[in-house]
Structure 1
């Protein structure tokens, strides 16, 4: 066996037999414990309406977090997703207000959201792969760029629509659950299949684990990295559809504010390594649910909103610390 095959075969084998159930066991146990504690701490927690609201709020950042999972597993990071959502939301409402036919307006606005998110994600990816700039620096810059563009196009004013059909997209219910929740879980199923049952998913993991070895194995590393940013952009577009249709408006200064923190936190809490190479979609789903329950309990128990960021930051630090403790 050649030295090259000795280096690449174990790598490919590692990602073909990833212990998915073991990777999400710790977050799942944490979610169960948190759920039990929350149900005992507040009599309102198990209220059907409260649980529905928690799931709805989780879905907005959870959809983005699924896209972020691909980016982080591939060894990158995207800090621009919150600002990107604000800019895409502005585009969506402009399309809705420009086209007179309500049905056509909704279809074209949703298409514009997905295409717009994909293009913005592609822009990030090209700067990282072709521009050879670190993902942290690129997305830190585009975070400011996208938010500024959203504010400029709207003069920092809230944009709304009177389209009678649009609110049903993100504000409707199916079988008692909000449509964004169904969208979130459906996306999770598709993303899990892509990540763990396709060659592309194995390539994403291999690139994040060791880009140089992946390149020796014949994997087009730049193309894989670029595609993960595109996936993240599409997920942002999908979340923008759900959020703007729920509110029938968008505030360019507030929309998506700190969504990047929530998305990254959900990914890390779910067990995905910030160094790249390993992670699970269902772990991210569990991480998003954990964050949602924590936020809900802080509100139900009357904790000051000024301290909620402290709690969220502490949870992120704890999750990262536990990752390093588990690392061989």
Structure 2
């Protein structure tokens, strides 16, 4: 019996370790192939510097005022308080420059609330700006690094004298959101979403006692001085709720999308998701298909509970069974 137990123990050890080693090796191979085959986004060429010392030109005649009583400021300190560095472009925004801010910048402005992002975006040659955090700003520009440095210094000096407490990038007016929804109405009607409430469209699946809701929220855009709005983006959401109890079964939110690309996002992602979740059986099957690694839409135990209440007891056992087997 000892011999058999020993053999059983060795087999159990191998059954546990070998698949894990194979999985780890597979992940490593995939990562290496990914690195070798992924092409880096080419760095766009920069323009030549506009002067021998663009920062010096920005500082000429500057007389900043400290936010703190009794503190004298030397504008030339902005040469090191503000810094710039090359950044490899990534993502659709393509930021290629990082602007760093030393802590002492607080003597010149509250960069979080005084409008540094807007002031920098107004500088000639600056294409896009994102104030990532208090100490760094991301910039997309073809200007040379010295010229971006000078632009950041000019922006900081501008808000030192005239802060901009109202950000230009802010929420879209409800009328604008409704106008975006108007542009979706025809497509939504073609797919059975015949009930509208504000910026949301509803499709009632009577036989399944489910309602699908596709809506817009969190719209924001850059409000220009002339009253126009640029780079307007909205978030598209998909929800499935029970028609009777209004219980939320699943919810999906997509990344904020330019309003001009909403219809494309609908066709590529939102409506296919609606088709794939048009019945209770399809929803439960979607959850089980993610096993053993991932159950989409909601925590596994909640998915199992819903499946059981809907009568899919075998699927519920599968959901709970995989969870239990993964425990150490």
Q: Normalised by the shorter chain, which TM-score bucket?
A: under 0.3
The structure richer in strand per residue is 2
The structure richer in helix per residue is 1
Question: Which of 1 and 2 has greater Rg?
Answer: 2
Q: Greater relative contact order (Cα 8 A, min sep 6): structure 1 or 2?
A: 1
